[in-house]
């Protein structure tokens, strides 16, 4: 939390009036629980192509919603209008929705208790992106693009920056009343190289992760805090075209089994898909069976499932500074926490909301409810899920130095995992061949494929704190109707032995 307060123009909305109107109307109509949220989301998207503006839009999405429990059945309704009149009307519609849905209820919903919270919370950032003139933002992206275009190998560039300011008011019948403001940013720069002789092309994208920071992140400002690094854009944008030129003419990988040193710029996504989603209790129980899928890590395995080697320690948290899932309270009024998910290689925890905590007979939710807008209801979403570094672990150079024949994978690209989080396949941005403990040049067309527990069971070295980076995703999808959520994943570099590597060109039958 910073010394900032929530923006005055959000606090000036009729929040108290909406709270009073919605909650009193819901109580009158028989709701045993009711909560009201007022949300305003500001989004800015700027895209440049070859250092020229391609498209830009600023969007403000605001509204209010009411969620009720009537006879153990949820009802939810929302509107774009923020007023006491609308709040009372929406409360009535939410109760109606609960009654229409009642024929489908076979299990009454009960919520785990939570202490009452009252307060304001603002995420850690220096410069509000929406305070920076658009011309300045476009100008910086053009300058960065020109840095890459200056290299002979670069035929085209794409630049993309998304900035979000999310403001949320929450109040419920128990007396909790919270106001939060979160700022986050994501920037990607991609260079394209074309081989005129063969007609083939390669791309390479920067590895800077999205973070809960302001515009200072794009200028290389801000302080490194733990794994949340201030980013050296000049360095990455200068090196990237050189790496791309090498990749264009790099040999195609020979499919087979390799020892992989996976950089945190790639490993965060593997964590996200194979641990983050697999340990969502709603999935493990089957809530997402029709859409995002379920999980092999079912509740009967809690405390016994050997997820990976004993070197594997994974935490969930909604507290880490600059984390994309970091909050003061979740969207059910539960205070932010940190807890173990995998300890010494064994599954020991899940991500919960209040109804799942009650079903699991736990004293309290660990605060993973989130709704991506006023018009969507809160569902269980991912906290920051991070693999701990080994305090005594090696540096990146030492990690690579210990590999005789392998590949060092940097940056994320394509990803896919099955509906129970078993079988996955990932690619990357850079694949550096390791021979005798040294990097000896890039290969290309690499995809690694494994089953989750086999993969984490092959992790034989976990890098030290110097290799640790807070990566993440800006728009993780889940739920019906579809919702997106931002989430961070911290991790060190790590060594995985004997992993199946495919050649993507051969897979295409070429």
Within 450-479, which residues bind other proteins (CB under 8 A)? 451, 479
Does 12 help bind other proteins (rule: CB under 8 A)? Answer: no
Does 13 help bind other proteins (rule: CB under 8 A)? Answer: no
Q: In the Cβ-directed half-sphere of 248, how many Cα atoms lie within 13 Å?
A: 23
| Closer Cβ to other proteins, 390 or 442, answer by number | 442
| Closer Cβ to other proteins, 134 or 234, answer by number | 134
* Site residues (CB under 8 A) for other proteins, limited to 360-379: 375-377, 379
Region near other proteins per CB under 8 A, out of 69-77, 145-153, 236-244, 322-330 = 69-77
Q: How far is CA 165 from CA 162, 238, 312, 324, in A?
A: 10, 30, 34, 12
Binding other proteins (rule: CB under 8 A), the pick from 285, 314, 407, 473 is 285
| Closer Cβ to other proteins, 295 or 467, answer by number | 295
What dihedral do alpha carbons 427, 430, 431, 435 form, nearest 10°? -160
Region near other proteins per CB under 8 A, out of 307-315, 331-339, 382-390, 409-417 = 409-417
Given a contact cutoff of 8 angstroms between Cβ atoms, the answer to whether 252 and 445 are in contact is yes
CA dist 432 and 444 (Å) reads: 9
Given a contact cutoff of 8 angstroms between Cβ atoms, the answer to whether 142 and 51 are in contact is yes
| Closer Cβ to other proteins, 248 or 385, answer by number | 248
**Least Cβ distance, residue 100 to other proteins (angstroms):** 5
Q: In the Cβ-directed half-sphere of 435, how many Cα atoms lie within 13 Å?
A: 5
Does 391 help bind other proteins (rule: CB under 8 A)? Answer: no
* Site residues (CB under 8 A) for other proteins, limited to 411-440: 414-423, 425, 427
Does 510 help bind other proteins (rule: CB under 8 A)? Answer: yes
Binding other proteins (rule: CB under 8 A), the pick from 38, 86, 91, 267 is 86
- Which residue intervals of 330-466 are DSSP H helices? 354-359, 396-401, 452-456
Name the pairing type of β-strands 118-122 and 177-194: parallel
Given a contact cutoff of 8 angstroms between Cβ atoms, the answer to whether 453 and 346 are in contact is no
Burial bucket for residue 420 (CB in 10 Å: 0-12, 13-18, 19+): middle
Given a contact cutoff of 8 angstroms between Cβ atoms, the answer to whether 203 and 413 are in contact is no
Peptide bond into 184 cis (omega under 30): no
Does 3 help bind other proteins (rule: CB under 8 A)? Answer: no
Region near other proteins per CB under 8 A, out of 177-185, 216-224, 285-293, 463-471 = 285-293
**Least Cβ distance, residue 219 to other proteins (angstroms):** 18
Three-state DSSP class for 372?
coil
Spatial neighbors of 220 by CB under 8 A, at least 6 apart, are 230, 231, 232, 233, 234
**Least Cβ distance, residue 208 to other proteins (angstroms):** 21
Region near other proteins per CB under 8 A, out of 288-296, 303-311, 403-411, 465-473 = 288-296
| Closer Cβ to other proteins, 435 or 506, answer by number | 506
Given a contact cutoff of 8 angstroms between Cβ atoms, the answer to whether 38 and 23 are in contact is no
End-to-end CA distance of the chain: 53
**Least Cβ distance, residue 81 to other proteins (angstroms):** 6
**Least Cβ distance, residue 475 to other proteins (angstroms):** 13
| Closer Cβ to other proteins, 39 or 459, answer by number | 39
Three-state DSSP class for 250?
coil
Binding other proteins (rule: CB under 8 A), the pick from 16, 100, 119, 239 is 100
Given a contact cutoff of 8 angstroms between Cβ atoms, the answer to whether 88 and 25 are in contact is yes
Backbone angles phi, psi at 6, to 5 degrees: -60, 145
Does 52 help bind other proteins (rule: CB under 8 A)? Answer: yes
* Site residues (CB under 8 A) for other proteins, limited to 231-260: none
In the block, tokens 């499919």 appear at 255
**Least Cβ distance, residue 474 to other proteins (angstroms):** 17
Binding other proteins (rule: CB under 8 A), the pick from 203, 306, 309, 395 is 203
* Site residues (CB under 8 A) for other proteins, limited to 104-133: 104-107, 133
Does 103 help bind other proteins (rule: CB under 8 A)? Answer: yes
Binding other proteins (rule: CB under 8 A), the pick from 293, 401, 402, 437 is 293
| Closer Cβ to other proteins, 285 or 399, answer by number | 285
CA dist 332 and 171 (Å) reads: 9
* Site residues (CB under 8 A) for other proteins, limited to 135-164: 135, 138, 155-156
């Amino acid at each position: 939390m910073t010394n900032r307060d929530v923006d005055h123009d959000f606090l000036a909305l009729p929040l108290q009036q909406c709270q009073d109107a919605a909650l009193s109307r819901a109580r009158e109509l028989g709701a045993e629980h009711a909560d009201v949220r007022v949300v305003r989301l500001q989004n800015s998207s700027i895209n440049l192509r070859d250092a020229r503006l391609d498209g830009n839009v600023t969007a403000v999405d605001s509204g209010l919603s009411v969620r009720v429990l009537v006879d153990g059945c949820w009802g939810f309704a929302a509107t774009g209008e923020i007023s006491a009149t609308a709040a009372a009307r929406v409360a009535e519609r939410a109760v109606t929705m609960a009654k229409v849905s009642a024929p489908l209820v076979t299990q009454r919903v009960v919520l785990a208790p939570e202490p009452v919270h009252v307060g304001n919370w603002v995420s850690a950032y220096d410069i509000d992106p929406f305070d920076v003139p658009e011309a300045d933002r476009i100008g910086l992206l053009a300058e960065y693009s020109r840095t890459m275009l200056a290299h002979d190998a670069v035929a085209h560039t794409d630049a993309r920056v998304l900035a979000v300011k999310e403001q949320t008011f929450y109040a419920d019948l128990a007396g909790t009343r919270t106001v939060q403001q979160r700022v986050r940013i994501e920037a990607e720069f991609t260079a394209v190289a074309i081989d005129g002789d063969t007609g083939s092309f390669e791309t390479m994208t920067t590895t800077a992760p999205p973070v809960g920071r302001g515009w200072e992140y794009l200028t290389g400002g801000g302080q490194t805090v733990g794994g949340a690094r201030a980013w050296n854009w000049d360095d990455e944008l200068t090196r990237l075209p050189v790496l791309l030129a090498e990749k264009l003419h790099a040999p195609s990988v020979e499919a087979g089994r390799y020892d992989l040193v996976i950089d945190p710029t790639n490993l965060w996504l593997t964590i996200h898909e194979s641990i983050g989603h697999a340990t969502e209790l709603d999935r493990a129980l089957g809530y997402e069976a029709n859409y995002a899928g379920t999980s092999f890590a079912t509740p009967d395995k809690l405390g016994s499932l050997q997820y990976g080697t004993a070197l594997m320690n994974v935490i969930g948290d909604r507290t880490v500074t600059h984390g994309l899932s970091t909050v003061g309270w979740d969207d059910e009024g539960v205070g932010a926490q940190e807890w173990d998910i995998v300890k010494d290689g064994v599954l020991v925890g899940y991500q919960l909301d209040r109804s799942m905590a009650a079903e699991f007979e736990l004293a309290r939710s660990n605060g993973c409810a989130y709704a991506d807008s006023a018009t969507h209801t809160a569902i269980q979403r991912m906290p920051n899920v991070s693999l701990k570094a080994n305090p005594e672990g090696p540096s990146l150079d030492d990690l690579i130095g210990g590999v005789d024949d392998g590949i060092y994978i940097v940056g994320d690209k394509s990803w896919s995992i099955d509906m129970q989080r078993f079988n996955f396949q990932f690619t990357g941005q850079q694949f550096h061949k390791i021979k005798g403990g040294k990097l000896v040049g890039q290969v290309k067309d690499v995809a690694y494929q494994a089953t989750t527990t086999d993969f984490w069971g092959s992790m034989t070295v976990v890098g030290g704190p110097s290799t640790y980076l807070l990566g993440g995703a800006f728009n993780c999808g889940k739920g019906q109707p579809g919702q997106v959520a931002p989430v961070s994943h911290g991790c060190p570099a790590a060594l995985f032995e004997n992993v199946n590597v495919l050649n993507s060109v051969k897979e295409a039958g070429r």
